[in-house]
Amino acid sequence: MTVKEYNISVDEYSDNLFRFALKHLRNEMSANDVVQETFTKVWIKHEEVSYEKVKLYLFTTAHHTIVDWVKKDGAFWRY
């Protein structure tokens, strides 16, 4: 994925990722942190991720980040 495609994916999916994280965490600050961490993880691997599959990769990464966040904070997981 190119830098331009990465920036487009940030514009396209950041709001949806925030709502996804907020739905599960019920905390805006935590949801923002999860979104930021998700995009950081994707940026680190941007050369390995194809733009055609970036949405799936983002939401999968966000899911794993949420699970890790809940485990770290000892919060109750609700699905």
- Residues 20-75: pLDDT tens digits? 999 999 999 999 999 999 999 999 999 999 999 999 999 999 999 999 988 887 65
In 3D space, the residue among 5, 12, 70, 16 whose CA is nearest the CA of residue 43 turns out to be 5
Q: Name the residue ranges covered by the structural domains of the chain.
A: 3-73
Q: How many CB atoms lie within 10 A of CB 45?
A: 11
Which residue in the block uniquely carries the two structure tokens 């396209």?
12
pLDDT tens figures, 2-20: 999 999 999 999 999 999 9
Pick the CATH number of 3-73 from 1.20.1250.20, 3.40.1160.10, 1.10.1740.10, 1.10.10.520: 1.10.1740.10
Cα end-to-end span (Å), the chain: 31
Q: Which residues contact 3 (CB under 8 A, 6 or more apart)?
A: 46
